[in-house]
Amino acid sequence: MEQQSPINWLFSRRSIRKYTGKTIPEEAIQTILRAAMYAPSAVNKQPWHFIVVSDRALFEKVTAIHRNASFLAGASHGILVCGDEQQQHDNGYYVADCGAATQNILLAAHMLGIGGCCIGIYPREKRGAMFSELFRLPGHIQPFAMVSLGYPAEEPQAGERFNPQKVHRERWNNQ
């Protein structure tokens, strides 16, 4: 990956769904997990848990219960991001906290030259129940998202996403 400024590096992150098949070293997985745990969380409660998955049989089971996760079959690893309802600041806060941790996973992977794609679970209750059963989660642990990780076999181009119509100053449509 060519050297670029930190802000342009951020703008170049894309969802990667095609992988080379090369295995990600454990040190890189540990770095990605460390980055996830440096995400902000309400009152610094850090109500997250992570399940690192590399078992092909589990990947197949995930793709069977999540129709949009077929690309996981080509990934080196997946990380299931879960929220702890007993550890969160208050009811529902784990969702924002796990969202921040998931974003850190994606950004850390990109920084390491590893591709990733978020596979949404929350807020789909039925989907969450299937993931909870598959990964044997305790009742107070809720699956939030799974991130597929692998070395990219594609280079999707980033288009311009900044939309000034989405920006408001002081109040909604303040004129």
Q: What is the pLDDT of residue 159?
A: 86
Q: What are phi and psi of 66, to 5 degrees?
A: -130, 100
Greatest Cα pair distance, the chain, in angstroms, is 57
pLDDT of residue 96: 98
State what percent of residues in the chain have pLDDT above 90. 88
Distances (CA, A) of 10 to 89, 117, 154, 157: 29, 15, 18, 13
In angstroms, the CA 92 to CA 78 distance is 24
Domain ranges of the chain: 14-153
pLDDT greater at residue 49 or residue 159: 49
Average predicted confidence (pLDDT) for the chain: 95
pLDDT at res. 68: 94
Look at residue 174 in the predicted model and tell me its pLDDT.
67
Q: Are strands 77-84 and 48-53 parallel, antiparallel or unpaired?
A: antiparallel
- Specify the pLDDT at position 3: 64
Q: What value does the mean pLDDT take over residues 37-52?
A: 98
Percent of the chain past pLDDT 70, that is, above it, reads 97
Per-residue model confidence as pLDDT tens digits over 97-138? 999 999 999 999 999 999 999 999 999 999 999 999 999 999
DSSP letter (8 states) at residue 43: G
Query: At 158, is the pLDDT very low, low, confident or very high (cuts 50, 70, 90)?
Result: confident
| CATH placement of domain 14-153 | 3.40.109.10
- pTM higher than the cut 0.85: yes
